[in-house]
Amino acid sequence: MNNVFVYCEIEDGHVAEVSLELLTKGRALANQLKCDLEAIAVGHKLEGVAKQVIPYGVDTLYLADDKRLYPYQTLPHNSIVVNLFKEEQPQIALMGASSIGRDLGPRVSSALHSGLTADCTSLEIGDHLDKKADKNYKNLLYQIRPAFGGNIIATIINPDCRPQMATVREGVMKKEILDPKYKGKVVNLDVSKYVSDSDFVVEIIERHMEKSKLNIKGSPIIVAGGYGVGSKENFKLLYDLAEVLGGEVGASRAAIDAGYVEHERQIGQTGLTVRPKLYIACGISGQIQHRAGMEQSAQIIAINTDPEAPINSIADYVITGDIADIIPKMIKYYKKNTK
């Protein structure tokens, strides 16, 4: 009761990265609140899940294992989570801001009348004084996210409703094993008590999951372009530089909306969060949503025609100029000095 809960997504028996990242964050929050960390996995053939998640500091793992529960479907997963939450009354519930978490989270929050904040970039514990009601709330979850075109950072709280729910994108939190020998218990749920046959109304005819061909997250060097790159053709310069340096190409949302590159390359609050050794931002103005996805890069080079671009303030190197002029020079001098 009153613990921190993480919904673990399963793909082919593997727990999703984002869920492991949330378990790490959940453990830290549970320590601060002096409560347990609990996890739920819903799917089929879940024997290997305990081994994967308990080392992250999970005290209780609930498993709902049934052939019909994999792949993910909204209604049965919703019923299990809602009914379990009614029994266990968690104070905080975290889900990945993924295709699954963003389908399930709102449904669960609506059923429980609890608040949900999407795409948080930071989660903290803090107090809140409601001056109007003269009521002091202790240890609330601060759900922090950029809002409104990135011009503001909002801290959202759910003072009265439980659980306090938040979704977080993959890569935003860091995953870290707490103790490979951590002792947690496993509870196998009696699935028939949590779902009814009428929840199984969707027939999945075909499912085709691709292992992402791109490995932008894992790349030590990222060359990213924004709207300022100007065209799909100009992006070729970025691919050239990335190839020479052994990196990957990323993009801001504006560049993707303009159709310069495919959306799998999006970096920022609603895309990937990356922490490369070197991030080269080309023609990116640097709105907060974009920065949320890359500001932890070890080194940042910003190339921009606008000397006042916000990205410049977080860059280690600020180059004011045209990428068509700068990038070929970078390639030239890289080659010259690495021979």
Site for another protein in 41-70 (CB under 8 A): none
Q: Report, in angstroms and rounded to the nearest whole number, the Rg of the chain calculated over CA atoms.
A: 22
Whichever of 1 and 205 has its CB closer to another protein, that residue is: 205
**How many CB atoms are closer than 10 A to CB 271?**
25
Whichever of 58 and 309 has its CB closer to another protein, that residue is: 309
By CB under 8 A, is residue 326 in contact with another protein? yes
Minimum distance from residue 192 beta carbon to another protein (Å):
21
Whichever of 54 and 195 has its CB closer to another protein, that residue is: 195
Distance CA 322, CA 302 (A): 11
Distance CA 295, CA 197 (A): 47
Minimum distance from residue 311 beta carbon to another protein (Å):
9
By CB under 8 A, is residue 135 in contact with another protein? no
Distance CA 24, CA 38 (A): 12
By CB under 8 A, is residue 3 in contact with another protein? no
Among 75, 125, 178, 186, binds another protein (CB under 8 A): 75
Say which residue the tokens 């303030």 belong to: 313
| 255 closest CA partner among 281, 273, 275 | 281
| 41 closest CA partner among 74, 4, 16, 24 | 16
By CB under 8 A, is residue 230 in contact with another protein? no
| 73 closest CA partner among 204, 192, 191 | 204
By CB under 8 A, is residue 204 in contact with another protein? yes
Helix (H), strand (E), coil (C) string for 248-260: EEEECHHHHHCCC
Piece of the chain touching another protein by CB under 8 A; list 36-44, 56-64, 183-191, 210-218: 210-218
By CB under 8 A, is residue 133 in contact with another protein? no
Distance CA 255, CA 228 (A): 8
By CB under 8 A, is residue 71 in contact with another protein? yes
Tell me the per-residue interface mask from 91 to 130 with another protein, x by CB under 8 A, - otherwise. -------xx--xx-xxx-xxx-xxxxxxx--------x--
Tell me the per-residue interface mask from 284 to 313 with another protein, x by CB under 8 A, - otherwise. ---xx---------xx-x--------x-xx
Helices 74-88 & 101-112, crossing angle to 10 degrees?
Answer: 50
Q: Say whether 300 sits in a helix, a strand or coil.
A: strand
Please report, as residue ranges, which positions from 242 to 281 form the binding site for another protein (by CB under 8 A): 245-246, 254, 257, 263, 269-270, 277-278
> How distant, in Å, are the alpha carbons of 114, 125, 161, 165, 168 from that of 129?
20, 14, 16, 20, 26
By CB under 8 A, is residue 158 in contact with another protein? yes
Piece of the chain touching another protein by CB under 8 A; list 23-31, 41-49, 51-59, 202-210: 202-210
Among 48, 51, 87, 152, binds another protein (CB under 8 A): 152
Among 155, 176, 178, 230, binds another protein (CB under 8 A): 155
Among 125, 147, 178, 186, binds another protein (CB under 8 A): 147
Among 1, 133, 134, 151, binds another protein (CB under 8 A): 151
Whichever of 50 and 244 has its CB closer to another protein, that residue is: 244
| 254 closest CA partner among 241, 244, 267, 242 | 267
Distance CA 284, CA 251 (A): 9
